[in-house]
Structure 1
Amino acid sequence: MNFIVSTSVKLSKINMKIAIKFMILFLYSLNAYSFELGVGTHLASYHKNSSFYMDIAKGMGFTSIRDEIPWQLVEVRPNIYSIPDIINKNGDVFGNIQQKYGMSGILILDYGNRLYTQGNYPSTDADIANFAKYAAWIATRYKGKVKYYEIWNEWLLGTGVPNKKNKRPSDDIYLSLVKETSLAIRKADPSAIIMTGSINPLKEQDRKWMLGLVSKGILNYIDAISIHPYSFQFKDTALQSPEGNSLEVDSFEKELKNIHNSDVPIYITEVGYPTNYLFGGFQEGRAGIDTIKYTLLAKSRNYIKGIWWYDLIDDGVSSYNREHHFGLLSNDLNFKSSAALLNEFSGLIKNSEVSMIDQSVNGQTHLVINYLGHKGNVTWDNTTSDSDFLNQLRHINHSATK
């Protein structure tokens, strides 16, 4: 009898400890969506059903995906809108992303339409009005389901425009497009978070373009700026590094704030490292370490609200096509180093507070990570081995979850 009572007391204490641990985890998880850990997808081109890929993304610890429902495919006949079979996976996921998967989504509203723009940029008031009507239909369909809308994707680069030799419309056209589209979304779904830009702030022309739009009042119509701070293409090794890259983003954010006279939320909606061996690719191991470092550095900035790694799965197998090798998973769904490390540390990334103590390009970086009530230091510089860096994170992980 005494043994049973004693054992029951011990079990109660153990259960209490477990309950407390889960309560702490729950309280931290309430803040998980304050910083999104996301991934880009190309659901329409994937071979299996959408649930298969969403389960992979959620299993890796991602809180959000980013994909598109292009205007061209939604409005094939004037003023008649539908989700065609070719993007049915996208439509299904965005319609169920919160309820079925417990995730959020960025839905990109993008590109031209042959009915009005011959597929090119919208360039007239009529084009803009028709784009806004498409956006309104989408926002009405997914009201309360899609958390984020991103207006256009890489306007400056001409992404999605069939003939990149066509002259880009004036900045006033872009400003008008953003204004009218934003107003249409707000009317359909006032709770939606709207962003635009998708620029690379490491490039001077991109910064100058966006700063000019901010001066013209673009932030009166949107909630945030989206950026794509790819650094693999720079010869400057400082810019290639997570440390140099993030410091340059800091500089851009300060310029935005100086013009806007208040804080400007930034979403990193694309960034990644190609792992092809030709034409400037990264070794898998290096890409993995830099992915974790950059994610932690991003989370240490209060103005950065999330990061979406590009992309979930390699888009091809050609050694000569760099665009085929940005995936966290290979084309045959094997985890690359970046995927394995994100999978290992996603809980720490999502449910921790990361504070910056010190950072420089060539000197030491020092972060304090508060994970489930346990504080730990993570430091590195140019002499720190990858294993030493990872062991610091694993020590925090183990101490907080044991």
Structure 2
Amino acid sequence: MSKWFVCICCVCYFSVSYAQEFNLGIAAHLLSNNPSSLNPNTANTKIKAAGIRYVRMDALWRDVEINKGQLAIPEKWDEVINEQKKLGLEPILILAYGNKNYQNGDKPTDKDSIDAYVRYASYVVNHFKGRVKYYQIWNEWNGTAGATSVGSVRDYKILVKAAYPVIKKINPASVIITGEFSNGAFNKELGLTSEDFLRVFLSQDMVNYTDVIGIHPYVVYRTPPYNGYWAYLSQIKYASSLVKQSRGFSNKPLFITEIGWSTASSNKGVSEKSQSQFITNAICDAKKIGISAVIIYQIRDGLPNNSHPTEPGFGIYKYNWDEKPIISSLKSKGCW
């Protein structure tokens, strides 16, 4: 029998309760093996200076298992996370995406690939036990992130049920975030399509396989009028109401694990002043309705990208690390 078939009664022992508190986080690609990536020491210092607690980072499967069956943590990861712990920052590791050794790098949906994913996740969790508390099982499964094909909620549930109990057995104190669908999960709420990924995911069979629900209520890439702030509000209110009304999930925290507005000079970009206003309002409104954390995308602007002109402008710092107006707002701690 595959290692990932685990009875529900087994995972009941891992039930965790949480105090409802509010924290800010930031997305930062600090574990990348790309030589042109962010300088981790500079980034961590800037994150701390902005008054942010959570640092959400990709812990890519492909970087841990380069050769099939041979797992190793890149030395850089230890350096980055050790520095974050010294600064009082809380890392969140995203356990994703595909690996070329399994299903041609696509999402793990067959037995061998799921088993391999669980081995990788287990290896990472065991390595960082005592240093990393928060883990996210995949990211935007319903989309094409990581150059993978669109995934179904059914297959995502299978992966979560495989990985969750194994992670909790290794580190019972871990907090596992699931959901994390792209903003397409809210299309039905906005009257755009019939898809309702989050509602389908929050079924009774998943109650014992998640600690935190994550959402990505972006509006930047939506077409007018659905790119307005009202659409952000509609999405987070829907998610909050759905979690509270879903039996077994009402006491589980809800995190916005990605949200942001780009200041790129594209047709979807906004001014730096507007970015600051949108993010500040987004944080305050999220806290007001009981969401437990808001993680902003992302720490620093990238270089211009003709293929994706809006993407480089999401930073709260400019590419040269000059502050955008949102930094002053974050430091003032407004409503939070």
TM-score (normalizing by structure 2): 0.84
Q: Which amino acid aligns with 2:186?
A: L
Which string of whole-angstrom CA distances, capped at 9 and with x for unpartnered residues, describes residues 188-247 of structure 1? 111111011222253226961221122252232011211111012334547621x55224
The match for 1:367 is: none
Matched with 1:301 is 289
Partners of 1:259 and 1:61 in 2: CA distance: 33
* Match in the other structure for 2:218: 230
Could you say what secondary structure the match of 1:80 adopts?
coil
Q: Note if contact 2:186-2:235 (Cα within 8 Å) is conserved in structure 1.
A: yes
Query: Which secondary structure does the structure 2 equivalent of 1:118 belong to?
Result: helix
Query: Is contact 2:204-2:247 (8 Å) kept?
Result: no
For residues 218 and 33 of structure 1, the distance between their equivalents in structure 2, rounded to whole angstroms, comes to 21
Native 8 Å contact 2:84 2:91 kept in 1:
yes
Q: Contact 2:186–2:196 at 8 Å: present in 1 too? A: no
Amino acid at match of 2:122: A
**Residue of 104, 114, 130 corresponding to 2:100:** 114
Question: Which of 39, 48, 51 is the equivalent residue of 2:26?
Answer: 39
Q: Tell me which of the two structures has the higher relative contact order, counting C-alpha pairs closer than 8 angstroms and 6 or more residues apart.
A: 2
- Measure, in 1, the Cα distance between the counterparts of 2:321 and 2:151: 40
Distance in 1, Cα, partners of 2:256 & 2:262: 17
Pairwise CA distance, 1:260: 2.4
CA deviation after TM superposition for structure 1 residue 119, in Å: 1.0
Deviations 1:315-365 (A, max 9, x none): 21247611111111111111112223223x23x444xxxxxxxxxxxxxxx
Which stretch has the larger CA shift, 190-199 or 304-313? 190-199
Identity across aligned pairs (percent)? 27
Establish whether residue 287 from structure 1 lines up as the match of residue 275 from structure 2: yes
CA distance in 1, matches of 2:323, 2:304: 15
Range moving further from structure 2, 323-332 or 244-253: 244-253
**CA distance, structure 1, for counterparts of residue 152 and residue 217 of structure 2:** 24
Q: How far apart in 2 are the matches of 1:226 and 1:260?
A: 17
The farther-off stretch of 196-205 and 102-111 is: 196-205
Q: Distance in 2 between matches of 1:216 and 1:206?
A: 21
How far off is 1:280 after superposition? 1.4
Partner of 2:10: none
- Aligned with 2:92: secondary structure? strand
Contact 2:259 2:296 in 1 (8 A): yes
CA distance in structure 2 between the partners assigned to 1:261 and 1:177 by the alignment: 20
Q: 2:314 aligns with which of 326, 329, 339?
A: 326
Determine which of 34, 45, 54 is the counterpart of 1:64: 54
Task: Determine the structure 2 residue equivalent to 1:245.
Answer: 232
SS in 2 for 1:150: strand
- 2:247 matched residue in structure 1: 260
SS in 1 for 2:213: strand
Task: Show the counterpart of 1:398.
Answer: none
SS in 1 for 2:122: helix
- 1:125 Cα deviation after fit: 1.4
Per-residue deviation, residues 70-93 of structure 1 (Å, max 9, x unmatched) = 1111012233211236xx1x4422
* Contact 2:135–2:177 (Cα < 8 Å) also in 1: yes
Unaligned runs of 5+ in 2: 1-17
Residue 71 of structure 2 corresponds to 81
Alignment of 1:1-400 (within 5 A): 34-43=21-30, 44=32, 45=34, 49-84=39-74, 88=76, 90-98=77-85, 100-162=86-148, 164=149, 168-199=150-181, 200=183, 201-204=185-188, 208-215=196-203, 217-237=205-225, 240-241=228-229, 244-260=231-247, 262-263=249-250, 264-302=252-290, 304-318=291-305, 321-343=309-331, 345-346=332-333, 348-350=334-336
Output the CA distance in 1 between the equivalents of 2:248 and 2:43: 42
- Aligned-pair distance for 1:32? 11
Q: Which moved more, 1:60-69 or 1:260-269?
A: 260-269
Q: Distance in 2 between matches of 1:206 and 1:108?
A: 28
How far apart, in 2, do the equivalents of 1:281 and 1:224 lie?
Answer: 31
* Deviating more after overlay: 131-140 vs 227-236: 227-236
- Distance change >3 Å, CA 33–CA 83, structure 1 → 2: farther
1:129 counterpart SS class: helix
Root-mean-square deviation (CA, aligned residues, Å) is: 2.5
Q: Deviations over 1:97-123 (max 9, x none)?
A: 33x110111100001111112111112
Cα distance change of structure 1 residues 229 and 84 upon mapping to structure 2, 3 Å threshold: same
Counterparts in 2 of 1:260 and 1:322: CA distance versus 1, 3 Å: same
Query: What is the TM-score when the length of structure 1 is the normalising length?
Result: 0.71
Query: Computing the radius of gyration over CA atoms, which structure comes out larger, 1 or 2?
Result: 1
Question: The residue matched to 2:180 in structure 1 has which SS?
Answer: strand
Please give the alpha-carbon distance, in whole angstroms, between the structure 1 residues aligned to 2:38 and 2:145: 26
Spell out, residue by residue over 1:160-192, the C-alpha distance to the aligned partner (whole angstroms, 9 max, x if none). 025x4xxx4543321111111111210111111
